[in-house]
A and B are shown apart, each in its own frame.
Chain A
Amino acid sequence: MDITLQQVSYAYAKNTPFEKRALFDVNLDIPSGSYQAIIGHTGSGKSTVLQHLNALLKPTEGSIKIGDVLVKADQKNKHLRKVRQKVGIVFQFPEHQLFDETVLKDIMFGPMNFGVPAEEAKSRAIELSRLLGLPEEVLEKSPFDLSGGQMRRVAIAGVLAMNPEVLVLDEPTAGLDPRGRKEIMDLFYRLHQEKGLTTVLVTHSMEDAARYADRIAIMHDGKCVLEGTPQEIFENEERLLDYRLELPQCVKFQKKVEQMMGKKLPTICLTEEKLAEELARLMKEEREV
């Protein structure tokens, strides 16, 4: 399912003394099956963009096409439910949305709201809890008795249980320890690859964007200021610095090594693994010469 933002502008509390423009003329194309990262500082408007992706906010100007539904300022809410089922959002600290008596019921909440039969919702919940590495006995516990990391997984399962076609992630690993962070990010990547799930990652982390995304959009002061493949984005260090953003550590390191050797690697390496591989190849070549 493609999502297209066309000249989207948004203002909070329009026509009051507290009016605040959050987005200016944002254009963004998220094709079906892609992994799009949206990067920016706090207050850059990236969270506002995120809420447009399943019509929680409607643009004050411009429009968004989500699949075959066109969302504009005067759109009636009725058609939007269909959109919400297809675009799942994992909000920042999603464990704050847990409420039901048992983990099982909480995971089933989403799908049942969209009319999925209880049996089907239950089997999805069981399958997902396995996928997310939750022990089976957890399903009958209260979500409030779990550890922070487990609560996070339950909340993520609750979104995945709706079987969305697009998954939007807002800093999904905030507050987790390094191991938890890696496990969750790898899981999302696996879902993206195996199920072809269109994924939108909203993040501060250049490293995560470099490692996982096909395309990166940079938000700054409510505008989408840069858009392209990771390679294209990271070639442009000066522009990133203009937006107070830094290159991923790996790319920075590559530049240091290149400077030292007086020679460029054939491509910008987006992960440490790739960098080590390229360096090793180069060294072997040097040796043979």
Chain B
Amino acid sequence: MKSEIISLQEVTFTYTEEEKNIRPAVDNVSFTIYEGEWVAIVGHNGSGKSTLARLMNGLLFPQKGTVRIFGETLNEQNLWETRSQMGMVFQNPDNQFVGATVQDDVAFALENNGIPFEEMVERVQQSIEKVNMSSFMNSEPHHLSGGQKQRVAIAGAIALQPRILLLDEATSMLDPQGREEVLSIVRKLREETDLTVISITHDLEEALLADRIIMMNQGEKYAVGSPEEIFLRGQELVDLGLDLPFAMNVSRLLRDQGIELVAEHMSEEELVNDLWTSHFNK
């Protein structure tokens, strides 16, 4: 049985400066994330998904409901301990680079947590290796691409050997190449360790990599399920401002053209096979 790592119970949050008649940014949301899972939280801009991230690491506290991490309710007392177990990567690659060079930046969280010098040197080295940035140890941030900066941010986040990695739209400002770099690093990390990954995103490709998807809409939890379950909702997702996987889009278009398919397919291979068996291979 998988053990719970994060659990939200009936969490509601409103940004205080806003008026009372505006809907809460997060409205009565409950879900549980288990150890070792990769969960994607998706939704259009303004659906409340980034607020969720901030609630999960204590940058914000809910007005109603509780956030439980590692079995304990998150509060002011266990906040710092929790944060040291949860690495986080933000959206803007420039605005989270604290150190003057790559290695300084990776060391930042280690310094904050009082890790002794020798161990620090070792961990910095290892973390940078894990994100394939070893040849850039002394580079300054403005000489790195967006994807490289985000990889450094990941190295900085995993240097403390956290149990959870939280990606808050970490790929949304990157070019396709940078996005691919970051995602392949996360995949690799998952293969090597039992890191729990929570990625907040509106990128379809990123969501497809997850074990489970939590879909947000207007501050409410709209749906939870495996990528297959979620994307089978088809038009519903499009109406909510999200994309469908390519193969699924083509399946739907083919149906509109009067071509019968066994199902709406998630992967290109399935679609090609279906076309082959039902239409050409006679």
Do A and B have CB atoms closer than 8 angstroms in the complex? yes
Q: Which residues of A contact B (CB under 8 A)?
A: 41-43, 147-149, 174-180, 204-205, 244, 249-250, 253, 256-257, 260-261, 272-273, 275-277, 279-280, 283, 286
A253-B246, A256-B268, A279-B275 known; A42 vs B46 contact (CB < 8 Å): no
Residues of B within 8 Å of A257, CB to CB, are 272, 275
CB distance from A140 to the nearest CB of B (A): 18
Residues of A within 8 Å of B175, CB to CB, are 41-42, 204
> Nearest CB to that of A207 among chain B residues?
B246
B192 within 8 Å of A by Cβ?
A: no
What bracket does the count of chain B residues touching chain A fall in? 20 to 34
Q: Is the CB of A276 within 8 A of B250?
A: yes
Residues of B within 8 Å of A175, CB to CB, are 172-173
Q: Is the CB of A286 within 8 A of B280?
A: yes
Query: What is the CA–CA distance of A286 and B279 in the complex, to the nearest angstrom?
Result: 8
A261-B280, A280-B257 known; A177 vs B250 contact (CB < 8 Å): no
Interface SS, A side: helix
A41-B175, A42-B145, A177-B45 known; A253 vs B280 contact (CB < 8 Å): no
> Nearest CB to that of B256 among chain A residues?
A276
CB distance from A246 to the nearest CB of B (A): 8
Which of B253, B272, B279 sits near A276, CB closer than 8 Å?
Answer: B253
B161 within 8 Å of A by Cβ?
A: no
> Nearest CB to that of A263 among chain B residues?
B280
A177-B241, A179-B241, A249-B246 known; A260 vs B176 contact (CB < 8 Å): no
A42-B145, A42-B146, A205-B176 known; A283 vs B279 contact (CB < 8 Å): yes
Which of B45, B241, B253 sits near A273, CB closer than 8 Å?
Answer: B253
CB distance from B178 to the nearest CB of A (A): 8
B121 within 8 Å of A by Cβ?
A: no
Query: What is the CA–CA distance of A178 and B272 in the complex, to the nearest angstrom?
Result: 25
CB distance from A232 to the nearest CB of B (A): 22
Q: Is the CB of A256 within 8 A of B250?
A: no
Query: What is the CA–CA distance of A261 and B272 in the complex, to the nearest angstrom?
Result: 10
Residues of A within 8 Å of B177, CB to CB, are 41-42, 204, 244
> Nearest CB to that of B258 among chain A residues?
A280
B 268-279 binary contact with A (CB < 8 Å = 1; else 0): 100010011001
Residues 225-258 of B contacting A (Cβ, < 8 Å): 241-243, 246-247, 249-250, 253-254, 256-258
Query: What is the CA–CA distance of A280 and B279 in the complex, to the nearest angstrom?
Result: 10
B259 within 8 Å of A by Cβ?
A: yes
A41-B177, A42-B177 known; A277 vs B243 contact (CB < 8 Å): no
Which of B45, B204, B256, B258 sits near A180, CB closer than 8 Å?
Answer: B45
Query: What is the CA–CA distance of A41 and B179 in the complex, to the nearest angstrom?
Result: 13
Q: Is the CB of B242 within 8 A of A178?
A: yes
Residues of A within 8 Å of B254, CB to CB, are 276, 279-280
A-B contact pairs, 27 of them (CB 8 A): A41-B177, A42-B175, A175-B172, A177-B44, A177-B45, A177-B202, A177-B241, A178-B44, A179-B44, A180-B44, A180-B45, A180-B241, A253-B268, A256-B268, A257-B275, A260-B275, A272-B246, A272-B249, A275-B250, A276-B250, A276-B254, A276-B259, A279-B259, A279-B275, A283-B259, A283-B279, A283-B280
> Nearest CB to that of B204 among chain A residues?
A178
Residues of B within 8 Å of A180, CB to CB, are 44-45, 241
Q: Is the CB of A148 within 8 A of B45?
A: yes
Query: What is the CA–CA distance of A148 and B47 in the complex, to the nearest angstrom?
Result: 13
Residues of B within 8 Å of A41, CB to CB, are 175, 177
CB distance from B167 to the nearest CB of A (A): 15
> Nearest CB to that of A271 among chain B residues?
B253
B 150-190 binary contact with A (CB < 8 Å = 1; else 0): 00000000000000000000001101111000000000000
Residues of B within 8 Å of A147, CB to CB, are 45-46
Residues of A within 8 Å of B257, CB to CB, are 276-277, 279-280
> Nearest CB to that of B242 among chain A residues?
A178
Which residue, of A177, A180, A261, has the highest number of chain B Cβ atoms within 10 A? A177
Q: Is the CB of A178 within 8 A of B243?
A: yes
Which residue, of A204, A261, A275, A283, has the highest number of chain B Cβ atoms within 10 A? A283
- 8 other A-B residue contacts (CB within 8 Å) besides A42-B146, A280-B254, A280-B257: A42-B175, A175-B172, A178-B204, A244-B177, A249-B246, A272-B253, A279-B254, A279-B259
Residues of A within 8 Å of B176, CB to CB, are 204-205
Query: What is the CA–CA distance of A178 and B47 in the complex, to the nearest angstrom?
Result: 13
